[in-house]
């Protein structure tokens, strides 16, 4: 009997997931099938970028032309699910129709909004409420920030209404089209590969380089803008960061077996502190809803966060920035992604196995599925160890630290002239 009830309850929960998938599929189809789009376009006529309503009459029409038909299709498909599943059950025959009951909430809300029932919009249309965003786009559920991107970032992405599962599956949980992406370490193999893949995804990449190595001539052919900066002088490019949507921190140095004082200073300055200063400068550009919804930082912290890299100072410095990003995520107004990359062939890693081009392709594909911790490696243990490490560390920081009153919860001063000089002398061939 207990097993029968477990099956019945499981199928009832699946009925909710089913109707949500129907809604998201209907929404996706409405952007590609003209008859449906003629109805759905009313929904996109309603809101200004601050999510205030353009016109109450248009808002009411949008409910009858888009929301009510959408909920009606959900109700019909929910009923078909219950009718199909019910014969399999020996108990709880009504449970497979839970998706229908769930759908009636959306249908009733849409009808109430269409009839201009007082406060129906504020009580039932939660993803369109105006006002400042209080959090970045959510990863599992659709919040206001996530849905704003469908209206004002890209109408060919962010289709989901409650759960973001379908967007993740289709690779529409993050649109890179039209976004300006600045990539540090652009002279290195991975930096070059990332710029090519980002451009293929519709982004406008900017190559940031702080080393003396020449950039490939292909950047000129591709129309990639090159911006040079210096480690320790990050503030000099603060104005440039204002116009960037995604900052990809990829620069680094690997001193290999060297453990001298100079090597220690160089490793931490380039792999950790310069990245931190760029991150904080970029966060200062987040001043409105549009920035919260569109801006992101991707940080290449490396597999060295959890596994040996046969280079102690590389591991220590990468772990330092990795832990700082984990801590900063607790208060960040925007999405911070980590790139947990295994051994790929580059000047920094003589033990590389994977090609930089293949790694870059995976990074971009997983980012479009809104993966916040992008793991690309040949080591299966990393896929187990890193999520455990990240979750436990995050909860530890949450329990034993608290945000400051300042919007910048941590502050680093600019490095001394000594360290800046160190960061620009030896190992220039390793600096990307």
Considering only residues 222 and 99, tell me which one the structure prediction assigns the higher pLDDT: 99
Closest CA to 305 of 277, 280, 335, 272: 272
Q: Which phi and psi (to 5°) does residue 123 adopt?
A: -90, -25
Please identify which of the residues 32, 37, 314, 351 carries the catalytic annotation.
Answer: 314
Residue 218: per-residue pLDDT: 80
- pLDDT above 70: residue 371: yes
Burial of 193: CB neighbours in 10 Å, binned 0-12, 13-18, 19+: buried
Considering only residues 220 and 125, tell me which one the structure prediction assigns the higher pLDDT: 125
Query: 193 CB contacts (<8 Å, ≥6 apart)?
Result: 356, 357, 359, 360, 361
- The number of beta carbons lying within 10 Å of the beta carbon of residue 406 is 9
Residue 293: per-residue pLDDT: 98
* 396 among known catalytic residues: no
pLDDT tens digit string along 21-43?
999 999 999 999 999 999 999 99
Closest CA to 229 of 238, 242, 219: 238
Kindly give the pairing relationship between strand 296-300 and strand 335-341.
Answer: parallel
**Predicted TM-score (pTM) of this structure:** 0.90
Residue 422: per-residue pLDDT: 35
- pLDDT above 70: residue 410: no
- The number of beta carbons lying within 10 Å of the beta carbon of residue 258 is 16
Query: 423 CB contacts (<8 Å, ≥6 apart)?
Result: 231, 232, 265, 266, 269, 270, 274, 415, 431
């Amino acid at each position: 009997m207990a097993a029968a009830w477990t099956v019945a309850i499981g199928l009832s929960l699946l009925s909710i997931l089913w109707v949500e998938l129907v809604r998201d599929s209907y929404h996706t189809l409405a952007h590609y099938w003209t008859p449906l789009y003629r109805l759905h376009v009313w929904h996109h006529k309603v809101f200004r970028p601050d999510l205030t309503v353009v016109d109450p009459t248009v808002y009411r029409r949008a409910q009858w032309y888009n929301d009510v038909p959408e909920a009606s299709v959900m109700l019909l498909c929910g009923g078909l699910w219950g009718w199909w599943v019910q014969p399999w059950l020996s108990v709880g025959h009504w449970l497979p129709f839970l998706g229908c009951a769930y759908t009636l909430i959306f249908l009733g809300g849409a009808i109430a909004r269409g009839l201009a029932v007082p406060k129906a919009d504020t009580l039932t249309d939660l993803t369109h409420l105006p006002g400042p965003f209080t959090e970045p786009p959510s990863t599992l559920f659709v919040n206001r920030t996530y849905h704003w991107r469908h209206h004002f970032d890209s109408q060919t992405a962010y289709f989901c209404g409650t759960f973001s599962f379908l967007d993740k599956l289709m690779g529409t949980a993050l649109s890179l089209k039209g976004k300006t992406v600045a990539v540090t370490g652009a002279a290195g193999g991975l930096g070059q590969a990332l710029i090519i893949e980002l451009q293929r995804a519709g982004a406008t990449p900017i190559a940031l380089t702080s080393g003396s190595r020449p950039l490939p001539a292909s950047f000129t052919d591709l129309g990639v803008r090159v911006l040079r900066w210096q480690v320790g002088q990050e503030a000099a490019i603060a104005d440039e960061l204002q116009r960037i949507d995604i900052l990809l921190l990829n620069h680094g140095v690997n001193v290999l077996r060297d453990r001298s004082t100079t090597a220690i200073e160089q490793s931490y300055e380039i792999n950790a502190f310069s990245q931190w200063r760029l991150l904080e400068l970029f966060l200062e550009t987040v001043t409105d809803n549009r920035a919260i919804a569109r801006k992101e930082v991707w940080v290449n912290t490396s597999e060295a966060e959890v596994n040996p890299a046969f280079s102690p100072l590389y591991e220590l410095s990468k772990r330092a920035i990795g832990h700082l990003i984990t801590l900063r995520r607790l208060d960040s107004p925007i999405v911070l992604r980590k790139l947990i990359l295994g051994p790929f062939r580059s000047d920094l890693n003589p033990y590389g196995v994977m090609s930089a081009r293949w790694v870059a392709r995976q990074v971009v594909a997983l980012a479009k599925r809104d993966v916040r911790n992008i793991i690309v490696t040949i080591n299966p243990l990393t896929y187990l160890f890193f999520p455990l490490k990240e979750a436990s560390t995050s909860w530890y920081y949450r329990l034993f630290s608290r945000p400051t009153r300042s919007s910048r919860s941590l502050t680093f001063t600019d490095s001394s002239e000594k360290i800046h000089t160190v960061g620009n002398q030896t190992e220039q061939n390793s600096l990307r």
